Structure 1
Amino acid sequence: MAIHKAADIIAINPIFEGRKIIIASDSKVVVSWVNSYSFGSTNHVKLIYNIRKNLSKLGNMEVIYNARVTNSFADMIAKRGSNMEGDLFVCGDL
């Protein structure tokens, strides 16, 4: 759900146009579903299809695996965002 939400926000927001976007997830399974021909769980086919559609439409966005233990900042932001109403944006240049 988080990857789907991020891809939707990025796809409609002009601030991300022309930028290289990397969405990192701590779920190897979900990253493999998004980046392969398999849809994994039949319960998630529509979500995976929509994520892939946004990835191909923009061409500058990719989804990668990043273990939770190696990215404590992202884990903290995710926990914080799940406790808030509305959207939470964190932008920065690497």
Structure 2
Amino acid sequence: MHSEKIKKSLDVFVFCCDVVYLEARNQSIFKDVPVDSVRMEDMVRFIVGWWFKHFGGGYLDPLTLILLNIVDRCSEVSKKSFLNLQKWIPPATNLLKFNVDGSVRSSPGFAGIGGVLRNHLGKVLCFFSSYVGVYDVISAEILAIARACDLFGSRPDLVRWMLIIACDSKSVVEWVTSRDIEGSNHEHLISHIHNSLHGFGQASVVHCPRASNSYVDCLAKKGSTGCEDVLCWSD
């Protein structure tokens, strides 16, 4: 059991490093922001620390304890910069929130989806990153919502909670929440989402600001690279 916990810590650590690399690459290519080695190290420390604070809690092995406190080794400048990016909005105490996103390398193009399920305290209950094939961005966003429904529905212990699925695309949210979908290209998929939400009892799909979806965006971008799927549930 102890070795399994250490392996899980290592898996999440490697995954976080991969996400940091993609984020640094995107900043360099799309925003013309140079990322030096010091900032890269701080990005690794900060994101690893964030994930282990909200996902890896409860483990007492030395590796996890180090990773939980690794943010303390970030420079003060980086701490302030990264903390300003954390704008996730927690749900009410009786709700769970599943932030989702879709990403494509061109439209249409290689598409990935990602999602993070959290409670009102910010504890990560589940996260996923998947390559889904060649799609346009609208389809990828809808697939991300459908995947969140499937994952939530696969856990009977969670169905007693009310669920919010948050997406940063207003048009997708309007489309998914519309009842007039007959004849659309996504009719089957949206019907599946409607049926899932109805089965959960109290569940909804809402729009969220893009700034509050930064981590999920990284997960979706990772999926669009065609990397191996990642799915982790907290214990």
User: TM-score by structure 1 length?
Assistant: 0.76
Determine which structure has greater relative contact order: mean sequence separation of CA pairs < 8 Å that are 6+ residues apart, divided by chain length.
1
User: Identity of paired residues, percent?
Assistant: 37
1:88 and 1:20, CA in 2 relative to 1: closer, same or farther beyond 3 A? same
How many pairs were matched up? Answer: 91
Which structure carries more strand by proportion? 2
Confirm or deny: 8 A CA contact 1:23 1:64 kept in the other structure.
yes
One-letter amino acid matched to 2:149:
A
Report SS of the residue matched to 1:42.
coil
Which structure carries more helix by proportion? 1
Greater C-alpha radius of gyration: 2
The runs of at least 4 consecutive aligned structure 1 residues that moved more than 6 Å come to: none
Task: Between 52-61 and 81-90, report the one with greater CA deviation.
Answer: 81-90
User: TM-score by structure 2 length?
Assistant: 0.34
RMSD: 2.4
Distance (Å, rounded) in 1 between the aligned partners of 2:169 and 2:182: 13
Q: Which residue of 2 aligns with 1:55?
A: 197
1:55 and 1:61, CA in 2 relative to 1: closer, same or farther beyond 3 A? same
1:21 and 1:14, CA in 2 relative to 1: closer, same or farther beyond 3 A? same
Q: How does 1:1-94 map to 2 (within 5 A)?
A: 1-39=143-181, 42-83=184-225, 84-89=227-232
* Structure 1: gaps spanning 5 or more residues: none
1:18 and 1:48, CA in 2 relative to 1: closer, same or farther beyond 3 A? same
Distance (Å, rounded) in 1 between the aligned partners of 2:161 and 2:176: 20
